Amino acid sequence: LYQLLPRDPSLPPVVFHWIPWFGSAAQYGQDPVEFFASCREKYGNVFTFVLLGKRVTVTLGPKGNDFVFGGKHTVVAAEEVYSSLTTPVFGSDVVYDCPNEVLMEQKKFVKVSLTTDKFREYIGMVDDEVTQYMDNEPPFRVFQTGSTTEWGSFSVYKTLAEMTILTASRTLQGKEIRDSMSKGFADLYHDLDHGFTPLHWMFTNLPLPSYWKRDDAQRKMTDFYLGIMNKRREGNPDDYDDVMSSLMRQTYRDGRSVPDHEIAHMMIALLMAGQHTSSSSTSWVLLHLADRPDIAELLYQEQVEHFGISGGDFREMTYEDMKDLPILDAVIRETLRMHSPIHSIMRYVRSDIPIPSSLAAPSEDNVYVVPKGYTVLASPAHSQLDPLLWKDANVWDPNRWLDKVGFAAQARKEYDESSQVDFGFGLVSKGTGSPYLPFGAGRHRCIGEQFAMLQIGAIVSTMVRKVETRFEGPFPKPDYTSMMVTPLQPCDILYRRRK
Ligand code: HEM
């Protein structure tokens, strides 16, 4: 009844809910994109919903993205929202457990080692890891028998999670971590990961085993990295040229060198930030290719034309090659449009903030104000699937990126205006007001984008060269109950070794 009483007209409309504190948690948690779409029909582009005691104001569309991504960090801040999830997992003094200016420096430190030269080295390593995996691991049984007619199957998310952590550890994490994968590091990772869920985000400390295991794994993993640093210092640290060694050489603007525990925690943050995002994206790419063998065939032909050598073999991929594969690029781009692993981008409101009337307004001479203490939320996952912006928004059609006819006129205009429209590998929009922002925008923009594009591209290329795939049954729905949007399990792909 309270919700039906007249309310302050400067506050955005509140989504109707039956249970006061719980609010719309169930609808939001089950399918946020669908929830936002149905709320937009009733309330427009700006509305507030209650989520476990918090008031969350959603701003939809490209202008809504701009409002949240482009907001000043003194007014809308990420750390108050994310820190309860990330600090127990990453550790102290990094990412959201430090002032935003420090995070900006930390991101720069990491970027120093995400260079084109490093990517040139990484590409072969990813190819090698995937090849070894397919040659030796049980789901790819057919590779052991050598059969090109027999069909096998693999669990797509499980397999891609394993390939992702192996390729990321071989490249970004460094030799010692890759070598320790089969010696306990993978178990620590799993315990830590089980503490990286919406439950752990909403309730920071419950008396449950997953919380104790998370904290224990965090301590052990930190010690693991500290041990590696100490060992490197006993020898010649200059012998190493990877992310960790680069972090060991950095200093903050105030002259402080980066303390070892911060380096360890940054390494954990990178591991966690890249794992589910990349593995779920690659899983969706493979699922769509298995569902559309015609497009998989085009992708295979692109590989043959670009890399094929006599005897039916392929020459090695280089990083430069990756920029010249339009079909692969369109396939990944389109998959990220439909399956952004992060569906909600949130910021805490530090002081009252007016909503631009071009986004939404209660009347011509009035504006909405989001009060201090609220959370604001943008959802590129929603704008990327908005039928007002995209032609056949729910159809996976890589072609739209090749000829751009699949954009509805408004999306195309807004995308062009706010983006660097360059279909070269790894470039996506830079502006905060774009309808397409799978890697975010503004000061919290992803630093792993180019690495992720390389990793996904190289894994998919290597797999597509080796196997034909098929998918039987209804296409899997997204599972929104974990931290990232993954395909609903169980979910197996059929494969057959190529001749
Ligand atoms: C930030 C997406 C891979 C490291 C972000 C954000 C998004 C995103 C949407 C912005 C979050 C926000 O504004 O609140 C993705 C996707 C990936 C991916 C879709 C793969 C397909 C990676 C990888 C790494 C990484 C591989 C590490 C190597 C980071 C970091 C941030 C970030 C450090 C910055 C957080 C901040 O400044 O608040 N990512 N990411 N990401 N990502 Fe990624």
DSSP class per residue in 36-74: HHHHHHHH-SEEEEEETTEEEEEE-HHHHHHHHHTS-TT
pLDDT of residue 411: 57
To test ligand 1's pocket by mutation, which of 171, 425, 436, 446 has the most ligand atoms within 8 angstroms of CB?
Answer: 446
pLDDT of residue 410: 52
For residue 256, what is the DSSP state?
Answer: P
C-alpha 304 – ligand 1 centre gap (Å): 32
E-state strands within 61-143: 76-77
pLDDT of residue 38: 97
Q: Do 342 and 382 touch, CB atoms closer than 8 A?
A: no
Can the peptide bond before residue 490 be classed as cis, meaning omega within 30 degrees of 0? yes
Ligand 1 binding pocket (C-beta < 6 A) is 78, 103, 107, 172, 270, 273-274, 277-278, 281, 341-342, 345, 438-440, 444, 446-448, 451-452
pLDDT of residue 429: 46
Residue nearest to atom 41 of ligand 1 (CA): 448
Closest residue by Cα to residue 69 from 447, 377, 382, 414:
377
C-alpha 223 – ligand 1 centre gap (Å): 25
| Intervals of the chain under pLDDT 50 | 419-429
pLDDT of residue 467: 95
pLDDT of residue 174: 87
pLDDT of residue 146: 78
C-alpha 312 – ligand 1 centre gap (Å): 38
Place of tokens 């899997």: 476
| Predicted ipTM > 0.85 | yes
pLDDT of residue 183: 76
The yes/no answer on whether domain 70-344+379-497 falls in CATH 1.10.630.10 is yes
| Structural tokens at position 417 | 């205006």
Q: Do 103 and 96 touch, CB atoms closer than 8 A?
A: yes
pLDDT of residue 182: 77
Instruction: Give kind and range of the element (H or E) at residue 162.
Output: helix 156-168
For residue 140, what is the DSSP state?
Answer: G
Q: Which atom belonging to ligand 1 lies closest to the Cα atom of 380?
A: 9
